[in-house]
């Protein structure tokens, strides 16, 4: 949950300028479960387009 909150500011370096937080986001979003969820959401948008 914390990662999805921090990713909201991915258009800025406000979060990622902190090395620990950047590494944490990297670690979480590299997980296959995250990738599957992310791809499923994007996939649903593509299917609906």
Contact 1, 7 (CB under 8 A): no
Chain centroid offset of residue 18 CA: 16
Q: In the complex, what is the shortest distance from the CB of residue 43 to another protein, in angstroms, rounded to a whole number?
A: 10
The span from the CA of 43 to the CA of 33, in Å, is 15
The span from the CA of 21 to the CA of 17, in Å, is 8
Q: In the complex, what is the shortest distance from the CB of residue 42 to another protein, in angstroms, rounded to a whole number?
A: 6
Residues at the contact surface with another protein, assessed by CB under 8 A: 1-9, 11-12, 14-15, 18, 20-21, 24, 27-28, 31, 33-34, 36-38, 40-42, 44-45, 48-49
Q: In the complex, what is the shortest distance from the CB of residue 26 to another protein, in angstroms, rounded to a whole number?
A: 11
């Amino acid at each position: 949950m914390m990662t999805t909150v921090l990713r909201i500011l991915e258009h800025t370096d406000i979060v990622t300028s902190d090395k620990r937080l950047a590494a944490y986001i990297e670690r979480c979003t590299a997980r296959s479960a995250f990738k599957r969820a992310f791809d499923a959401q994007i996939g649903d948008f593509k299917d609906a387009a």
